[in-house]
Amino acid sequence: MAFDISTLDLDAIERREAAKNKGSALKLVAAIGFALLWIVPFYFLAISIFKSSNEYSRNPPLALPEGLAPFWDNVARAWELGSMGQAMMNSAFYGTVGASLAVFFAAMAAFAITRLDIPFRNGWFMLIFAGTVFPFQMYLIPLFFGYQKLGLLNSHMGMLLFYTAICVPFPTLVLRNFMSGLSREMDEAARMDGANEFTVFFRIILPNTIGPMTAVFLLQFTWIWNDMLFSTVLGNRLETRSIMNALLVFQGSYSSIGPNIVLTAALLASLPSIVLFFLLRRHFMQGLQVQQS
């Protein structure tokens, strides 16, 4: 009995293609399901900020809002109840100045470690980077009592000093790796022309590290902006508390204030970091591309 081998091969290929298409369809369905689950919290946020407290209490949580007018009233109530204006100014100060100083000090450290002939360069780097080895929570008690003795507790200067110091190690790691790849011939040529180390750093190295410095600045700013733990312990007064600390004003009064007000406050607290990311996204992506090259 003769068999048509070409027909058998064609049937096997069709079965493999059918199985492949079935597997692709299942993956697509699973991806859509996970995407919908991921979108549900954002959908809940998007519709809740447009509801009044009365509308939210008498309608299902996922029901569409009846109109857009309650949004501005929710913004006004959240802004007033949480004293969000002062808190946003504090967080903007901590994030902008603290992250800028941390990145600048990290750039100086990376320059010294990679471009200067100093003894124990790897040891200095490990000393700086050791700050990220231990959990940050272990610093709370020593910092609290140390700040209390020095009079830095609940002060803008104390918060700025902490955020600057805690944000130095990671940018040092990133900038050290980047500066190691820069040609040292630029440094030598500048020194031959009479440039000192500060001139080399400010006029040659810094202009070539704008991308990675912007990337690490954005990351450190976001970390400072979203920090709640240290801002609650070291700066919990009205005049020094951060925006995340201000959100704690809604804790324990969730039911009386209304979830729509709480969610509106959370949205307001997240907007500055999102806006900053879109403003700096070009430099941020350039910095990431440089690190991958």
Residues 238 and 286 in one domain: yes
Residues 195 and 93 in one domain: yes
Residues 149 and 257 in one domain: yes
pLDDT of residue 226: 92
Residues 147 and 279 in one domain: yes
Residues 205 and 109 in one domain: yes
Residues 126 and 154 in one domain: yes
Amino acid in the structure at residue 32? I
What's the CA gap between 173 and 175, in Å, rounded? 6
**Burial of residue 13 (number of CB atoms within 10 Å: 0-12, 13-18, 19+):** exposed
Range of the domain at 69: 5-73
Residues 82 and 218 in one domain: yes
What's the CA gap between 199 and 187, in Å, rounded? 10
Task: Point out the domain boundary residue: 27, 52, 73.
Answer: 73
The residue ranges of the chain whose pLDDT is under 70 are 1-15, 18-20, 23, 251-256, 284-293
Residues 138 and 255 in one domain: yes
pLDDT of residue 87: 92
pLDDT of residue 259: 81
Give pLDDT tens digits for 153-188: 999 999 999 999 999 999 999 999 888 888 888 888
Dihedral sign from CA coordinates of 150, 153, 159, 165: positive
CB 231 within 8 A of CB 162: no
Domain of 225, CATH number, reads: 1.10.3720.10
Reference 127, options 176, 182, 198; nearest CA is 176
CB 46 within 8 A of CB 61: no
Residues 108 and 252 in one domain: yes
Amino acid in the structure at residue 52? S
CB 84 within 8 A of CB 265: yes
pLDDT of residue 19: 66
Three-state SS sequence of the chain: CCCCHHHHHHHHHHHHHHHHHHHHHHHHHHHHHHHHHHHHHHHHHHHHCCCCHHHHHHCCCCCCCCCCCHHHHHHHHHHHHCCHHHHHHHHHHHHHHHHHHHHHHHHHHHHHHHHCCCCCHHHHHHHHHHHHCCCHHHHHHHHHHHHHHHCCCCCHHHHHHHHHHHCCHHHHHHHHHHHHCCCCHHHHHHHHCCCCHHHHHHHHHHHHHHHHHHHHHHHHHHHHHHCCHHHHHHCCCCCCCCHHHHHHHHCCCHHHHCHHHHHHHHHHHHHHHHHHHHHHHHHHHHHHHHHHC
Give pLDDT tens digits for 11-56: 666 667 766 677 677 888 888 888 888 888 888 888 888 988 888 8
Residues 274 and 176 in one domain: yes
pLDDT of residue 289: 58
- Total domains, the chain: 2
pLDDT of residue 11: 64
CB 261 within 8 A of CB 78: yes
Between helices 84-115 and 210-226, what is the axis angle to 10°? Answer: 140
pLDDT of residue 256: 66
